[in-house]
Amino acid sequence: MSAIIKAEHLSFAYQGDEDTPPVQALKDVSFEIEEGSFVAILGHNGCGKSTLAKLLCMIYTPDEGRLYINGRDMTADDVEEKDIYDARRRVGMVFQNPDNQLVATIVEEDVAFGCENLGIPSEKIRKRVDEALDTVGMRKYARHATHRLSGGQKQRIAIAGVIAMRRKCIIFDESTAMLDPGGRKEVMDTICRLNREEGITVIHITHYMNEATMADRVLVMNEGTVIMDGTPAEVFSRCGELWEAGLDVPQTTELLWKMREAGYDVRLDIFDPEECAKEIAKAIAEKR
Amino acid sequence: MKISDFGRKSTIIFNFSFLIFHLGFMGKIELQNITYVYGKGAPYEIKALDDVSLTFEEGKIIGLIGHTGSGKSTLVQLLNGLIKPDSGRVLLDGKDIWAEPKKIRDVRFKVGLVMQYPEYQLFDETVWKDISFGPKNMGMSEDEIKKAVVEAASFAGLKEKHLFKSPFDLSGGQKRRAALAGVMAMGPSVLVLDEPAAGLDPGARRKILGRIKDYQRQSGTTVIIVSHSMEDMAMYCDSVVVMNHGKVTMTGTPAEVFSRSDELISQGLDVPAITKVARALRNEGVDIGLDIYTVNFAAHRLLGEEEDK
Amino acid sequence: MKADIAFGQYCEGNSFLHRLDPRWKIIFALMYIVALFLAKNIFAFGLVALSIVLLWALSGIRAGILVKGLRPLLFIIAFTAIINIFWLKGETPLLPENWFFQIYLEGIINAVLIVLRVMVLVTGTSILLTYTTTPIALTDGIEQLLAPLAKIKIPVHEFSMMMTIALRFIPTLIEETDKIMSAQKARGSDFSTGSLTRRAKALIPILVPLFISAFRRAEDLATAMECRCYTGGAGRTRMNILHSTWRDAVMLLILCVFVAGIVLLNIFAPGYRFTM
């Protein structure tokens, strides 16, 4: 397994104008993302997670530190337009507002947009677009108008556009934040399937705890730094620190934590209601 | 009057504003046999509301739940007369709001509506001016406006230093609360909020919902919240109305509604995870009841019962 | 329902005309317009009238839609007709000589022909272009027809990209305007009463948020396009390449016959010569 993204001591500040001082958004952030993994990045608004996403797809360049994508140092002095273009062919992005990232009026035209930019021959694009639409389960909407779709469907079209370009890694920048529960589930199911079945590396930036529990690994950010890094089980058992960082924990964990406070011997890293109930029942039985 | 003058005076009012609450009073809103159809006469005619009768209890926080397309957004727009029902009546304090169509604007002052993502409606140079937009339209005097703005801002948890900034320089959560203050400042007797916490992180979510709850408790205003989040509804509402396919399917306290989780799930809704835990616990032989909807409540039942033994 | 600009006046269908290459359709429309202005006498106009029936038959569009499309032109049509009837002097007076005004046969014929020309012009080009072609296909067609102009540094691709994005975002912005208007109405905005300046002032709370949102969307979209490797027109391919088929050849033949017919009728057919 190799690292598709490697960040070393990244720092970034937004330059203010005359009256406002620069805002330090990221401070000394380091991590590696293994190929094929599913990483969730958690944090409250303004903790630097969206800035990080913009650095990863090279919309901003870091002030300090090194960023490697697929082994290539994107912060080196000899990086040209071509290298950035090359990196973007590997790492794709799905944004927060489903309305602001679709370019074309017709679904299949939008999915084809990226491939057209890469200069792929027509028949191949056709094939890739059809496959991508199948993968996200939107084939029957191929000729529909994009603006008539629901939020969840729009996000799935955006995802199809990314996978039609055969990218190995997709960054989701709060892509579920503006969706209703139905749309959120559609998108999360698609993300999980892409990761498991297609082997696509997923970086999912979110503030929904239950979405983070689906990942292999969770990074928690606060004030521009990574404060926790581990499996969901490891991270969510540290309830106190999460609360301090302005985050929630899943309700199951919260209940188990309260049980533990009251002197019961329970694990904290359980997110499934059934299992949570079993654990509690067991602990109560043991205590008696 | 210069802004700096406003600033100085507002400081004084600000510090004492917790003593006096002019804004808001209980309003009673009632729906009688409301039907609303989109695209009437066209082949794609959709019945968004189908013979809905409902009374919103006064002086409470009422949650309105339903999946997308259940008719709840239509209902919200009916409450303050943005749209007119095809049949049926909307009664505010016993009076039909459409009795005099020309006076519908007055109804909109009494029934305040905070739409989804309300921060996108901010437009003025300063937060202060933006909040005073509604009161000005109502024809309040300068003094009244000042009081209303200061009070609404404090309800919404905005600090004084925020009031003279451009609304576009605020953070996401602050913008949302500034927009909320803009409606609160009109002193409505019913406040309707469509997804007030959508897209906010847990901290900002708790803050805005907490502010709404405090506002309700202190002003007595009837508050109607539309939301997808069962957890939030369970936590903040006094009663819950469930809608599906343009009809009201359930009403009751959160405990009553969430204990019927099978029905909720069959209507395409979720129940809070903690409610699921309570159900599973019963199967495991630990019965803490099915009417569990918050973690604190569950913990209390679990640990309290233990202590009793 | 809201204006659905993505499809404009497009009528869903799979007729002969629907399946023509949009590039050719633009050329056909131009040919058709030229032919219409060539027609000079009643017989040629007979052929014009026939042509519109043929186009309608080939398009498979309901006649009601075509009639509806003419409705906005009613005033102009009536106006030109009246002017022609009352002001044109001819040789065959229709009313007794001592009347205070006169109508000539030529005036009436002229009026009928002009009205026919305007109606056929609008209906014919609409059938060929807007009713049977989506705006997107039209944009594509125009881009490819004008592609040679790129060689002399005219940004053809950029214009067509702008068109595409405009088509994509207009419905979104209309929806947004609706939402902002409702929100401000809920805060007591009043757009329908008061003096003109008052009403104009009432628009500020709508326009400011709308512009801010449009800029935000533009920025987001630019970022999204960049992330999808968009670097302008150079080196770009298209998924849907436009293909000319036998249908285009058939249509071209029909139109050539039509133009030739009109020219021949102009020269050889006897009868009234149209004066405009």
What's the pTM value of the predicted model, to 2 decimals?
0.84
pLDDT digits (tens, 9 = 90+) for A168-202: 899 999 999 888 888 999 999 999 999 999 999 99
Q: Which residues of chain A from 102 to 131 reach within 8 Å of chain B, CB to CB?
A: none
pLDDT of residue B90: 93
pLDDT of residue A80: 84
CATH of range A3-238; options 3.40.50.720, 3.10.129.10, 1.20.1630.10, 3.40.50.300: 3.40.50.300
Across the range A108-121, mean pLDDT stands at: 93
Q: What are phi and psi of A168, to 5 degrees?
A: -90, -15
Task: Spell out which residues of chain A touch residue B302, defining contact as CB-CB under 8 Å.
Answer: 255, 259, 280, 284
Do the Cβ atoms of B87 and B36 come closer than 8 Å?
no
pLDDT digits (tens, 9 = 90+) for B106-118: 899 999 999 999 9
Q: Which parts of chain B fold into alpha helices (H)?
A: 3-16, 72-79, 104-110, 127-131, 133-138, 142-155, 160-163, 172-184, 202-219, 230-236, 254-258, 261-266, 273-283, 295-308
Q: Which amino acid appears at position C177 of this protein?
A: T
pLDDT digits (tens, 9 = 90+) for A138-168: 999 998 888 889 999 999 999 999 999 999 8
pLDDT of residue B19: 41
Q: Which amino acid appears at position C198 of this protein?
A: R
Sign of CA dihedral C247, C248, C250, C254: positive
Q: How far apart are CA C244 and CA C222, in angstroms?
A: 34
Q: How far apart are CA C148 and CA A193, in angstroms?
A: 45
Q: Which residues of chain A from 60 to 99 reach within 8 Å of chain B, CB to CB?
A: none
pLDDT digits (tens, 9 = 90+) for A255-270: 999 888 888 888 888 8
- Domain B3-254 of CATH type 3.40.50.300: yes
Strand bridging mode B190-194 / B222-226:
parallel
Across the range B279-308, mean pLDDT stands at: 82
Q: Which residues pair with B25 in a beta bridge?
A: none
Q: How far is CA B162 from CA A16, A105, B114, B167, in A?
A: 19, 41, 20, 8
pLDDT of residue C87: 79
pLDDT band at A226 (very low <50, low <70, confident <90, very high): very high
Do the Cβ atoms of C254 and C91 come closer than 8 Å?
no
B115:C186 CB<8 A: yes
CA B24 to chain centre: 14
Selected residue of A99, A149, A163 to mutate for chain C interface (largest C Cβ count, 10 A): A99
Q: Which residues of chain A from 97 to 116 reach within 8 Å of chain C, CB to CB?
A: 97, 99-106, 108-109, 112-116
**DSSP-assigned states of every residue in chain A:** --EEEEEEEEEEEEPP-SSS--EEEEEEEEEEEETT-EEEEE--TTSSHHHHHHHHTTSS--SEEEEEETTEETTSTT--HHHHHHHHTTEEEE-S-GGGS---SBHHHHHHHHHHHHT--HHHHHHHHHHHHHHTT-GGGTTSBGGGS-HHHHHHHHHHHHHHTT-SEEEEESTTTTS-HHHHHHHHHHHHHHHHHS--EEEEEES-HHHHTTSSEEEEEETTEEEEEE-HHHHHT-HHHHHHTT----HHHHHHHHHHHTT----S----HHHHHHHHHHHHHHH-
Largest Cα–Cα separation, chain B: 70
Task: Spell out which residues of chain B touch residue C176, defining contact as CB-CB under 8 Å.
Answer: 120
Each residue's pLDDT expressed in tens, for chain C with a length of 276 residues: 344 555 567 777 888 888 899 999 999 999 999 998 888 888 888 899 899 999 999 988 888 888 888 888 888 888 888 888 887 777 777 777 777 777 888 888 888 888 888 889 988 988 888 888 888 888 888 888 888 888 888 888 888 899 889 888 988 998 899 999 999 999 988 877 778 888 888 889 999 999 999 999 999 999 999 999 898 878 888 888 888 889 999 999 999 999 999 888 888 876 656 554
Do the Cβ atoms of B193 and B215 come closer than 8 Å?
no
B284:A177 CB<8 A: no
pLDDT of residue A111: 95
Query: Nearest CA to A177 among A95, A93, A247, A96?
Result: A96
Cβ neighbour number for residue A202 with a 10 Å cutoff: 22
Selected residue of B121, B168, B169 to mutate for chain C interface (largest C Cβ count, 10 A): B121
Cβ neighbour number for residue B56 with a 10 Å cutoff: 21
pLDDT band at B305 (very low <50, low <70, confident <90, very high): low
Give A97 to chain B, closest Cα distance, Å.
10
Query: Nearest CA to B148 among B20, B277, B280, B4?
Result: B20
Task: Spell out which residues of chain C touch residue A99, defining contact as CB-CB under 8 Å.
Answer: 172, 217
pLDDT band at B41 (very low <50, low <70, confident <90, very high): low
Task: Spell out which residues of chain C touch residue A102, defining contact as CB-CB under 8 Å.
Answer: 168
Q: How far apart are CA B43 and CA B68, in angstroms?
A: 22
By Cβ distance, the residue of C6, C225, C236 closest to A105 is C6
Between the CA atoms of A223, A224, A230 and A233, what dihedral angle is there, to the nearest 10 degrees?
40
CA B182 to chain centre: 14
Where is B53: in which H helix or E strand? strand B46-56
Q: How far apart are CA C35 and CA C263, in angstroms?
A: 8
pLDDT band at B13 (very low <50, low <70, confident <90, very high): very low
Across the range A16-40, mean pLDDT stands at: 87
Higher pLDDT, C87 or B256: B256
pLDDT of residue B1: 39
Joined tokens for residue C67: 């009639």
Q: Which residues of chain A from 232 to 261 reach within 8 Å of chain B, CB to CB?
A: 246-248, 250-252, 254-255, 258-259
By Cβ distance, the residue of B277, B284, B303 closest to A262 is B303
Across the range B209-215, mean pLDDT stands at: 94
pLDDT of residue C274: 57
| B101 close to A (CB below 8 A) | no
pLDDT band at B136 (very low <50, low <70, confident <90, very high): very high
pLDDT for B25 beyond 70 = no
pLDDT of residue B304: 76
Joined tokens for residue B265: 């799930």
Across the range B301-307, mean pLDDT stands at: 70
pLDDT for B23 beyond 60 = no
Cβ neighbour number for residue C61 with a 10 Å cutoff: 21
pLDDT for A128 beyond 90 = yes
pLDDT of residue B201: 86
By Cβ distance, the residue of C4, C217, C228 closest to A100 is C217
pLDDT digits (tens, 9 = 90+) for B140-191: 999 999 999 999 999 999 998 999 999 998 888 899 999 999 999 999 999 9
Local structure of B21: helix, strand or coil: coil
By percentage, how much of chain A surpasses pLDDT 90? 55
Do the Cβ atoms of A101 and C221 come closer than 8 Å?
yes
pLDDT of residue B302: 86
| A251 close to C (CB below 8 A) | no
Task: Spell out which residues of chain A touch residue B274, defining contact as CB-CB under 8 Å.
Answer: 251-252, 255
pLDDT for A95 beyond 70 = yes
| A167 close to C (CB below 8 A) | no
Q: Subunits touching A (CB < 8 Å, at least 3 pairs)?
A: B, C
Where is B36: in which H helix or E strand? strand B29-38
Q: How far apart are CA C92 and CA C110, in angstroms?
A: 13
Task: Spell out which residues of chain B touch residue A274, defining contact as CB-CB under 8 Å.
Answer: 276, 280
A117:C229 CB<8 A: yes
A147:C168 CB<8 A: yes
Selected residue of C187, C191, C215 to mutate for chain B interface (largest B Cβ count, 10 A): C187
Where is B34: in which H helix or E strand? strand B29-38
Q: Subunits touching C (CB < 8 Å, at least 3 pairs)?
A: A, B
